[in-house]
Amino acid sequence: MVKVYHAPNTRALRVLWTLEELGAPYEPVKVQFPPRQRQPDYLAINPTGSLPAMVDGAVTLTESLAICEYLNDKHGGDLAVAPGEAARADYVQWLFFGEASLSPPLGNLVRIARAEQKGPDLEAFGEQARQTYAARLAGLEARLDGREYVADGRFTLADISNAYPLHLAGLLGLEAVGPNVAAYWERLQARSAFQRAKAVV
């Protein structure tokens, strides 16, 4: 059985959500965060110490979106847009948007929140990160104009990708900017598979 190593509010949420959407069996393994300090034996599975990690027999993967794609393929799911399909380019664009565009400024805000020493330079850096996130979120707002989901007119892994930074932003006290994103986030949170995944972490 697939093992998923996870901790609350990490990118493991994407993996658990994907498994719940697929109705696939898995064994969740909770890891103390941050594992490098609190559970160093986890480094034997993922030397970077990041979460999630997935172990499926001889296969070990540690990038959340790679894991999601692997699981969708393994279980014959319909959460991806296949190569050659008309919506493939949009799907790939928005699959990576959640990680490459929305997540980095939020990661900076998380590091600022954990910083032991504060000061005006750090506050300025935080304000810049918030502005960057808002500007990038405007791209998602525009994409969702007249759409319920970001690609192919249906729910896909691209939505799971974008949902994680929306979840993280909420933890950081940042509200969704614009009515399209706000309604989109409500739709995603209402999915029963999301609720089951969130209950695990």
Instruction: Locate the domains of the chain by residue range.
Output: 3-79, 88-191
> If 0-12 CB within 10 Å is exposed, 13-18 middle and 19+ buried, where does residue 3 land?
middle
pTM for the full predicted model: 0.95
Residue 43 DSSP code: G
Which tens digits make up the pLDDT trace of 137-174?
999 999 999 999 999 999 999 999 999 999 999 999 99
Does 3-79 match 88-191 in CATH topology?
no
Give the C-alpha separation, 174 to 104, whole Å: 15
pLDDT at 125: 87
Binned at pLDDT 50, 70 and 90, residue 51 comes out as very high
Q: Mean pLDDT of all residues in the chain?
A: 95
Vertex 158, ends 87 and 163: CA angle to 5°? 150
CATH number of 3-79: 3.40.30.10
Does 187 have pLDDT greater than 90?
Answer: yes
Task: Return the closest-CA partner of residue 20 out of 198, 197, 201, 147.
Answer: 197
The answer to whether the beta carbons of residues 123 and 113 sit under 8 Å apart is no
Closest CA to 50 of 60, 59, 58, 42: 42
What average pLDDT does this structure show over 81-106?
Answer: 97
Contact 67, 52 (CB under 8 A): yes
Q: Each residue of 99-122: pLDDT tens digit?
A: 999 999 999 999 888 877 777 788
DSSP code of 57?
T
The identity of residue 196, as a single letter, is R
Supply the CATH classification number for the domain 88-191. Answer: 1.20.1050.10
**Cα 127 versus chain centre, distance:** 23
pLDDT level of residue 177 (50, 70, 90 thresholds): confident
pLDDT band at 199; cut points 50, 70, 90: very high
Confidence of residue 4 (pLDDT cuts 50, 70, 90): very high
Q: What digits encode the pLDDT tens for the residues 26-35?
A: 999 999 988 8
Q: CB–CB of 103/165 below 8 Å?
A: yes
Whether 161 and 97 have beta carbons less than 8 Å apart is answered as yes
